[in-house]
Amino acid sequence: MSAAEAVEALRRLIRRLRGPGGCPWDREQTPASMVRYLLEEAHELADAVASGEEEPVCEELGDVLFQVLFLGEGYEAAGRSDLETVCRGITE
């Protein structure tokens, strides 16, 4: 599976969690309610990097990526932004 396919699979999972029949907690989250989780995961990633151990870094990178994509899906569902626009902006 390519990196692009893996990211798309994660986005599908997030849409399923946030969608009908998904997870009630995930559905009620907003960008504002998710900020604390993003910050928590970023701090855990910083600690993992400081540890110098590869496995915890990989795990925490995954947690941060999930939070970023979760936030992005929320904005996209609200018609406010999308991942393509975000990535294009970074690249340019």
Instruction: Give the per-residue pLDDT at 53.
Output: 93
**Cα dihedral 37/39/43/44 (nearest 10):** 20
Long-range contacts of 26-30 (CB under 8 A, 24+ apart): 26/70, 29/70, 29/74, 30/74
For residues 84 and 43, the model is more confident at: 43
Stretch 26-40: mean pLDDT: 94
Q: How confident is the model at residue 34 (pLDDT cuts 50, 70, 90)?
A: very high
Task: State the average pLDDT for the chain.
Answer: 94
Long-range contacts of 35-39 (CB under 8 A, 24+ apart): 37/67, 38/64, 38/67, 38/68, 38/71
For the segment 63-80, what is each residue's pLDDT rounded down to a tens digit?
999 999 999 998 998 888
